Structure 1
Amino acid sequence: MRLDQMMALKFSSDEELSQNPVVPPQTRRKGIGIRTWLVVYESGQSHLEDIGKHSIMRRTGLPARDLRVLDPILSYPSSIFGRERAIVINLEHIKAIITATEVFVLNSKDPAVVPFVQDLQNRVMCSNGVLQRATESSDNDMEITDKESQGLDSFYGHNGSAKLASLDILQLPHISKDTSVPTMELKDSSPKTAIDVAGAGGTMMLPFEFRALEACLESACRCLDYETSTLEQEAYPALDELTSKISTLTLERVRQIKSRLVAISGRVQKVRDELEHLLDDDNDMAEMYLTEKLVSQRLDRSFLRSELDNDASNIIDEREEETETEACGETLSAIKPNIEELEMLLEAYFVQIDGTLNKLSTMREYVDDTEDYVNIMLDDKQNQLLQMGVMLTTANLVLNAGIVVVGLFGMNIHISLFDGVTQQFWGTTFGTLLGVVILYYIAIGWGKKKGLLA
């Protein structure tokens, strides 16, 4: 093959690659920026949905920087913050977005997230059952009230309403004296909120976003508490074993336990600080009342629509407009979020996570005490080794003194002692040894007297 044919073949292959680049299968299937979210609705139903980044931003009203917190690739600490239309949750293994009507959960197939999803669905379904029973009870009460009113009308005749008006209202104990409570009529197609139905049934029900938030907090606290309990079961026996027997194996186990303890303590401390930050800031807690803000927006739209109709008809004077404005302001102030409900919820889990942190602090103190005890033991061993070294050095010194005496007698010099009997030799030998021993005990006694030896 000639050179020009080879170059032409190379250019054609490069052009084909540029027109049809190699794309990973996952990218071809989902596209860039698309992730699989588990969407849990207010009714308790859920399904998996592939949602892009811009789509999730439009549905939740979140900016891109808030979505980065939920990115599994990036490492962000635990955080909870409320926005205009959503609550962003990043707690341990839970990465979710909560709105007034649905919850978006990432990594729903993760074994650590599956129990949380089941708990969330059970909470929502149980709450829906309570709301349904409350609705039925409120409907029954309305039927009973209608029957009583019909009975009163039949008792007083066709002019019963006029006769009832002439009676003193205090004579009817079942009729409330305060009849000035403003009521808000919604369309038949709009569903009743949890607060309205629960209030009618006599029980106070948390809004959907708080039920989802409670499920997230409970799952995170349960996970951290389980890890803490598991670490306690491993740590205390290992530390007790270390105090009784110091070895390389036990030291390595304690080192690993201490590393896990530091990691878990940091995670628990971050969750505690986040809850404490929310409890200290009332504005942040008020931002989390998504259902209340949704109702407020509906009221604003209805009020603006009525204002436009009134302006078009020109039948309302200035005084009536001021009265309606004040009434609308009273209505909006009436639906202003009361943060006591959320504050009580956060305080409950703050106490729980603070108890977990106290367990870790107690374990950390036990580890520190064990380390101090081991250091004391090692110092004691080191002191014993030093004393043994001093004693051996002293023995070597006095032994050298005896060697000097032997060396003097071993010199090739003729003295009268060599001409004596055998008893003189043994007497000299044992006398030298006795002198060495006496010098040794004198040196040891002097060291103990000075406090150098124990």
Structure 2
Amino acid sequence: MISGGGGGGAIAMTKVKKKASGARLWMRFDRSGGSELVELDKNAIIRHAAIPTRDLRILGPVFSQSSNILAREKAMVVNLEFIKAIVTAEDVLLLDPLRQEVLPFVEQLRQQIPHKTQPQLRGPAGEQESEMQVPTGRQWLPVPESAEGLQSELPFEFQVLEIALEVVCTSLDSSVADLERGAYPVLDDLARNVSTKNLEHVRSLKSNLTRLLARVQKVRDEIEHLLDDNEDMAQLYLTRKWLQNQQLDAHVGATTLNNLSSTRRLGSTRSGSLVTSNLGDDNDVEDLEMLLEAYFMQLDGTRNKILSVREYIDDTEDYVNIQLDNHRNELIQLQLTLTIASFAIVIETGIAGSFGMNIPCSLYHVNGIFWPFVLSTCAGCFFIFLLILAYARWKKLLGT
């Protein structure tokens, strides 16, 4: 059984709804911090978040390795690594919340959302009403910021996005740290001893590095894409659009409520003006831009760490190639030396072979000439060997 914290600190037991055909497990978090496990199918998700069907495909297994942050009219579709969520102005639906890698994100939501969504008063205004309200004909809606001194907070959807980016960046940083700890000893072993085992370790290391770099690059590129387009960032302000719609409904409903007192009408007009002043600039994306820039810089630093490891791998490979080239050159020099020696021996063998034939020769009848002739022939061949060797060194064909 999974429980979620309410805004007042009470712990509510969650419920699991009956599984429908084609339904998947989701966890729903609301603005006050309450949570529940639910089984929802595609139609229920589409009705709840007002998103097209193709957005649900992005959260499917086919696009599990992609990273997307999509803005829709009433929702934001977040697909970052293992975090797949649909965020609205009132709640967030998290797909597969029981996966091991998703649990830190769930825990962060439970810890931070109830605290961040509680507005706090500062100064003398703290003795007054804790939040301004806008009438809609049926209920009074809270306005998160006003001129009465309410503390400025990020909208609910950006709080969720910030937690998601924080968890993803932390996970990527942890993976990079593990990669660094395993990379440098393996590369040092390869530099000391070029063996099949060490080469296999480096090959596996390069594969892991390439996959990790691609993961970081995808998240980084998605954030960069948002930073380059102010219109896309403005569409992500779900709370602002939600309050604007509620404000419009409030003004329409106020014209039909003739039984409201003059004091209530004055409060409604004052609250509406505050909402208009707070939500008038739809192109103000400074808060989201600062949030995305912070995590963009963090991902850029993570990417630079991976590139430094790859550079170290390239340097090690260059060093190993230099070592192999040096060994190859030594083998070639040894082969050349043996070839020169073989040439000198062939000359001596040719002379000995010519005297081994049964042909008339006056030297056969000279006493005591055999050993002096053999020694002189060996000395001459050795001299030829030294002469050719010196020529090869003079031409720098052999090392000194």
1:200 shift after superposition: 4.7
Question: Deviations along 1:11-58, whole A, 9 cap, x unmatched?
Answer: xxxxxxxxxxxxxxxxxx844431110111111121110001011001
The answer on 1:43 being equivalent to 2:11 is no
The answer on 1:86 being equivalent to 2:36 is no
Q: Which residue of 2 aligns with 1:192?
A: 142
Alignment of 1:261-300 (within 5 A): 261-300=209-248
Question: Does the 8 Å contact 2:244/2:279 carry over to 1?
Answer: no
- Secondary structure of the residue aligned to 2:220 is helix
More strand by share: 2
1:338 shift after superposition: 2.3
- Secondary structure of the residue aligned to 2:39 is strand
Q: Which residue of 2 aligns with 1:77?
A: 66
Question: Does the 8 Å contact 1:41/1:103 carry over to 2?
Answer: yes
Q: Which residue of 2 aligns with 1:213?
A: 161
- Cα distance in structure 2, aligned partners of 1:35 and 1:211: 25
- Structure 1 residues 142 and 328: CA distance shift in structure 2, 3 A: closer
Q: Which residue of 1 aligns with 2:116?
A: 127
Counterpart pick for 1:254 among 198, 202, 224: 202
The answer on 1:440 being equivalent to 2:389 is no
Question: Does the 8 Å contact 2:176/2:302 carry over to 1?
Answer: yes
The answer on 1:379 being equivalent to 2:379 is no
Counterpart pick for 1:52 among 37, 41, 44: 41
Letter in 2 for 1:192: P
Letter in 2 for 1:373: Y
1:347 shift after superposition: 0.8
Q: Which residue of 2 aligns with 1:243?
A: 191
Question: Does the 8 Å contact 2:49/2:74 carry over to 1?
Answer: yes
- Structure 1 residues 329 and 207: CA distance shift in structure 2, 3 A: closer
- Secondary structure of the residue aligned to 2:94 is strand
Question: Does the 8 Å contact 2:66/2:218 carry over to 1?
Answer: yes
- Secondary structure of the residue aligned to 1:43 is coil
Question: Does the 8 Å contact 1:69/1:76 carry over to 2?
Answer: no
Question: Does the 8 Å contact 1:272/1:353 carry over to 2?
Answer: yes
Q: Percent identity?
A: 40
Question: Deviations along 1:116-142, whole A, 9 cap, x unmatched?
Answer: 1101111112224x53xx259777432
- Structure 1 residues 421 and 250: CA distance shift in structure 2, 3 A: same
Q: Which residue of 1 aligns with 2:284?
A: 338
Counterpart pick for 1:118 among 94, 101, 107: 107
Question: Does the 8 Å contact 1:77/1:270 carry over to 2?
Answer: yes
Q: Please give the root-mean-square deviation of Cα atoms over the aligned residues, in Å.
A: 2.5
1:438 shift after superposition: 0.9
Question: Deviations along 1:216-263, whole A, 9 cap, x unmatched?
Answer: 100110111110010001111111221121111111111111111111
- Secondary structure of the residue aligned to 1:412 is coil
- Cα distance in structure 2, aligned partners of 1:193 and 1:382: 77
- Cα distance in structure 2, aligned partners of 1:92 and 1:329: 36
Question: Does the 8 Å contact 2:134/2:247 carry over to 1?
Answer: no
Unpaired runs of at least 5, structure 2: 1-17, 259-272
Bigger drift between 73-82 and 183-192 goes to 183-192
Q: Which residue of 1 aligns with 2:90?
A: 101
Unpaired runs of at least 5, structure 1: 1-28, 144-182, 311-326
- Cα distance in structure 2, aligned partners of 1:414 and 1:432: 20
Q: Which residue of 1 aligns with 2:127?
A: 141
Q: Which residue of 2 aligns with 1:65?
A: 54
Bigger drift between 441-450 and 275-284 goes to 441-450
- Secondary structure of the residue aligned to 1:111 is coil
- Secondary structure of the residue aligned to 2:397 is coil
- Secondary structure of the residue aligned to 2:78 is strand
- Structure 1 residues 101 and 237: CA distance shift in structure 2, 3 A: same
TM-score normalised per structure 2 = 0.84
- Cα distance in structure 1, aligned partners of 2:356 and 2:78: 92
- Structure 1 residues 46 and 58: CA distance shift in structure 2, 3 A: same
- Cα distance in structure 1, aligned partners of 2:211 and 2:43: 35
1:294 shift after superposition: 0.6
1:190 shift after superposition: 3.1
Q: Which residue of 2 aligns with 1:314?
A: none
- Cα distance in structure 1, aligned partners of 2:362 and 2:235: 113
More helix by share: 1
Q: Which residue of 2 aligns with 1:222?
A: 170
- Cα distance in structure 2, aligned partners of 1:186 and 1:337: 26
Q: Which residue of 1 aligns with 2:356?
A: 410
Letter in 1 for 2:379: L
